[in-house]
Amino acid sequence: MASDRARRRLFLTGIVGTLLIITVYVTGGVVAGAKSVAHAVVYPFSWAADFVARPVGHVFAGIANYSDVEAQNQKLRYLLGQATQRENDNAVAAQQLRRLTLALHVPIAASLGTVVAQVTVISPTNFSATVTIDKGQNDGVMNGMPVVADGGLAGRIVATTPNSATVRLISDTGSVVGATFGTGATPVLISGEGLNNPLNVSSIPDTASLQVGNLMSTNGLQGGLFPPGIAVGRVTKLLINPGSSSYAVSLAPTANLNALAYVDVVLWEPST
């Protein structure tokens, strides 16, 4: 009986020893096995920590990169702004040169002499239309002198100070210009009808040779307010009312009165 129990203990001891030997062999030794077991336990947690930490690092790197990109964008916007400003300055200079050139191309202005002036104040209303220029008595500008712009008559000086003057535009309802057309045989009166309205021409007999597109200019008659030969406007509308012996004429100013920047004051007085 005792021998049977001894045999069983010996058998179990052998089995346990065999299992221990196999375990040590598979895991590479007791220490290595312990390390393997520990790694198997810890690895999932270290992987999770690395997974969480990695995006945080990317966020900080992204912030640094974003700052660099924003700084570059600001510099580019600054350079673009400088280029745009230069382009605008060039466009304004070209426009001013064009206006000055057109003003100086008026034949009567060139023959009589002019003073170039810049428009500083525009004061148009439905009935009156005036502008202020930066030249006055100190520059030889006097009341009554004609003012031309963009190749045609713009108005006349009605008030002066030492360093400025007021110009009544031909579109003003108080403006009247003696003019003619064609061969100059028919004198007419051109009157202003207010802001953005065509000029009105009165008393042209229906026997006169007149067509849409014809140019009218100052006639320079004795006692007139303007010298001869300054373009005033072109015919845009020509009608004969039933029972009337005269034309109803509308005229568009040759000068662009809505965009005055520079004008020429013609050095001419009605009394001369």
Summarised one tens digit per residue, pLDDT across range 125-173 is 766 799 999 999 999 999 999 999 877 899 999 999 999 999 999 999 9
CA 190/CA 253 separation, integer angstroms: 10
Phi-psi group of 76: left, alpha or beta (phi > 0 → left; psi -120 to 50 → alpha; rest → beta): alpha
Q: Crossing angle for the helix pair 2-27 and 30-104, nearest 10 degrees?
A: 30
Q: Which among 82-86, 88-92, 197-201, 242-246 has the top mean pLDDT?
A: 197-201
102-119 pLDDT, tens digit per residue, is 554 555 555 778 899 999
Percentages (nearest 5) of helix, strand, coil residues in the chain: 40, 30, 30
Residue-level length of the chain: 272
179-225 pLDDT, tens digit per residue, is 988 888 888 999 999 878 899 997 788 888 889 999 999 988 766 78
Of the candidates 264, 262, 208, 255, the residue with the CA atom closest to the CA atom of residue 232: 255
* Residue 64 neighbours by CB under 8 Å, 6+ apart: none
Backbone φ and ψ for 182, nearest 5 degrees, come out as: 60, -125
Triad 89, 115, 153: Cα angle to 5°: 90
5-42 pLDDT, tens digit per residue, is 666 666 656 665 665 555 544 445 444 444 444 444 44
Identity of the residue numbered 18: T
Name the residue with tokens 């034949």.
107
Contact 139, 162 (CB under 8 A): no
Q: What is the DSSP string of 99-149?
A: HHHHHHT-HHHHHH-EEEEEEEEEEE-SS-EEEEES--GGGT--TT-EEEE
Helix, strand or coil for residue 20? helix
35-72 pLDDT, tens digit per residue, is 444 444 444 445 444 544 455 455 445 555 667 776 67
Give the pTM. 0.60
